[in-house]
Chain A
């Protein structure tokens, strides 16, 4: 090849060379960045929590850094602070806003109402209002009689209330019996998740989205639900721990992608589900929801469980989550078996009704004033429900020993108690 030919070849390929050099430079920079990045962090995955308010001279921040430093620190590390949502955005209201208090020359809500969250999270609040976590949770202890007409309308618009029996609106008598000094720390603590605010909005978003970090990870972790969904009446936390899903979480959850973009979660982010994955998250072919009942097929919390309105749609949504890991045959078989168990537990609870039926006129109408009231109540409220939850959430011990076994024991005890009532009646009759 002479010089001319060489020059021509170089000339014809010069742009290709320029492009390739650019690519090589890029790859070199990538390698350099990876090497520097690796040496800086030592290869460890260290996510630094940055305090976005560390040097803020905002009035609220400066003052509360002295008075309540904990919440300032928490909020500084939140994504909301990083997104420039200020204290005022959530707390400051007009003077005539119901529930507002004067504070340092302005008016604030000491605890922002759902109406404040709704300004940005409109869809989430609308979904939540349709759920049992909204007014139905509150009415369960407080009753519906004191609701304003607007709240009454909102309450009746919740599908499960409007579509079902009076039983769902029933107020638990224990609240009145125990008294305010106790219930404040007991039933109300959980059921206030649906408490109305003075401004007419409903609910306590921060029960699940703990203030002031509002962390995705915290909301997605089952410990959050554990605050209420625990104990003999609905031991979902214990059942979850016993289930394979819970075992996967406890043994591998540290490596899951807790901060994954909402609505886009896949098995790569969550190889096994938490409470949030099945009931709230956009996962697989199911979209995100804040209506906790929108994927459920039964009213498992009722004494005798029946189907929810539009349960077939709910089933499709839940099964779309299951399908990310399980095949259709497995899911169908599981649903069929769990449906059968639900009916079987229903039969046992009906049996408790039949046992006490002959002596109902002898049992005082005052709730929880006789031992039989407690045994009858626990039969369905603790053991019947636990057996059903245990099956649907795959915690065998809770279906067996903490569920149906206890229910059977209560049925036996009820029979004995009823015999005593009947014996007493007979004895009294004999005496006459």
Chain B
């Protein structure tokens, strides 16, 4: 069976260099999870700072992000000697991340609704646009989900069979590679929703705002499509790689445009604008998902 692999579309020397990467695909995924959690802590801190006062429950993701990120990095070091212990530690952290994300989505949703308003006005598009970003906390859950997937070894590669504690195994309906692709698609869907809701505040007056929407939706379809295809061709992989590179570019250009908007044309740095204006870290979520989409296509074998 053919597998969706990046090396399949690269020239032989480049593919060879890719195989000699110091970290395996799952290790890279865990590293990305750790980095994501660290940044999510910072991003959440900045977002929650907007009101000027961070409420007790709003501290949960702010503190959890860096704590979880650092713990994952420590788990990575422990894994060099005691793989099982590191896997357990990472799993606990990542499951907690899933819970934190779900709690955040719930709190944001509740904050975005008017439970005691007239029935038809309790949830409106307007409310959801102006509420705290509904799907943003789910990034914690997504990181947890892909982190847990990365923490458990798939043996043999691309079989969908995960080695758990002791001799126990878990057979998944899909290979890890395909699961990663579905998660990238899901993550992109959340990112697109988040970006559409955020950009809707400006009424989409700026035509540039359609680029992340279109590129994001394209990537959602392509990633999910590649996950569905049992035997992807080189063209399929190439299309996916192109979509992921597009996402990375969209993220970088978006971050530049957001910073430029916050500089209000005079290159003066007003911290308030970076807090309340265009979120400068948010577009990098596109790049993040693009990078994950590329890592998903690396050699699935363990080192």
Contact = CB atoms under 8 A, between A and B. Distances in A.
Interface of A: 11-16, 18-23, 26-27, 48, 50-58, 82-84, 119-124, 261-264, 266, 282, 284-288, 320, 323-324
Contacts, number: 126
A128 to B, nearest CB: 13
Interface stretch (B83-91, B148-156, B163-171, B215-223): B215-223
Contacts of A11: 233, 235
A23 B52 contact: no
Given A84-B111, A264-B277, A282-B272, A19 B121 contact: no
Interface string B117-136: 11101001001000000000
Contact of B118 (A12, A27, A54, A324): A54
B214 A55 contact: no
A287 B52 contact: no
B272 A22 contact: no
Most buried by B among A19, A26, A54: A19
A235 B264 CA distance: 33
Contacts of B176: none
Contacts of B52: 120-124
A168 B276 CA distance: 37
Given A15-B225, A15-B229, A50-B121, A320 B268 contact: yes
Contacts of B285: none
Q: Which 6 A-B pairs have the closest CB atoms?
A: A22-B221, A12-B235, A285-B268, A56-B116, A18-B225, A263-B272
B271 A287 contact: yes
Contacts of A124: 52
A133 B116 CA distance: 37
A51 B118 contact: yes
18 contacts: A14-B225, A16-B235, A19-B218, A19-B239, A20-B218, A21-B221, A22-B220, A23-B214, A26-B217, A50-B124, A53-B116, A57-B116, A82-B114, A83-B111, A261-B277, A264-B277, A282-B272, A285-B264
A55 B118 contact: yes
Contacts of A122: 52-53
The size class of the interface chain B forms with chain A is 35 or more
Interface string B244-268: 0000000000000000000010101
A16 B53 contact: no
A287 B270 contact: yes
Interface of B: 51-53, 110-111, 114, 116-119, 121, 124, 127, 201, 213-214, 217-222, 224-226, 229, 232-236, 239-240, 243, 264, 266, 268, 270-273, 275-277
A271 B271 CA distance: 23
Given A15-B239, A48-B121, A263 B276 contact: yes
B273 A323 contact: no
A54 B239 contact: no
A276 to B, nearest CB: 15
B214 to A, nearest CB: 5
B interface majority secondary structure: helix
Given A263-B273, A284-B264, 7 more contacts: A15-B226, A15-B236, A52-B114, A58-B116, A120-B51, A120-B52, A320-B266
Nearest to A284: B264
B117 A264 contact: no
Nearest to B242: A16
Contact of A16 (B127, B217, B232, B239): B239
A282 B235 contact: no
Contacts of A13: 235, 239
Contacts of A264: 272-273, 276-277
Contacts of B119: 55
B117 A52 contact: yes
Contacts of A18: 221-222, 224-225
A14 B111 contact: no
Most buried by A among B51, B118, B273: B273
Nearest to B232: A15
B145 to A, nearest CB: 22
A119 B111 contact: no
B53 A120 contact: yes
Given A11-B235, A284-B264, A19 B114 contact: no
Contacts of A53: 116-117
Contacts of B121: 48, 50, 54
Contacts of A285: 264, 266, 268, 270
A11 B271 CA distance: 51
B117 A19 contact: no
B294 to A, nearest CB: 15
Nearest to B222: A19
A22 B239 contact: no
Contact of B53 (A12, A82, A119): A119
Contact of B117 (A50, A120, A262): A50
Most buried by B among A22, A56, A286, A287: A22
A424 B205 CA distance: 76
Contacts of A288: 272
Contacts of B53: 119-122
A422 B114 CA distance: 75
Contacts of B225: 14-15, 18-19
Contact of B240 (A15, A50, A120, A282): A15
B176 to A, nearest CB: 20
Nearest to B275: A263
A78 B87 CA distance: 49
Contacts of B114: 50, 52, 82
Contacts of A48: 121
A139 B117 CA distance: 44
Contacts of B224: 18
Contacts of A15: 222, 225-226, 229, 232, 235-236, 239-240
Given A14-B236, A82-B114, A282 B268 contact: no
B278 to A, nearest CB: 8
A23 B221 contact: yes
A85 to B, nearest CB: 11
A119 B51 CA distance: 11
A285 B268 CA distance: 6
Nearest to B272: A263
Contacts of A23: 214, 217-218, 221
A284 B239 CA distance: 43
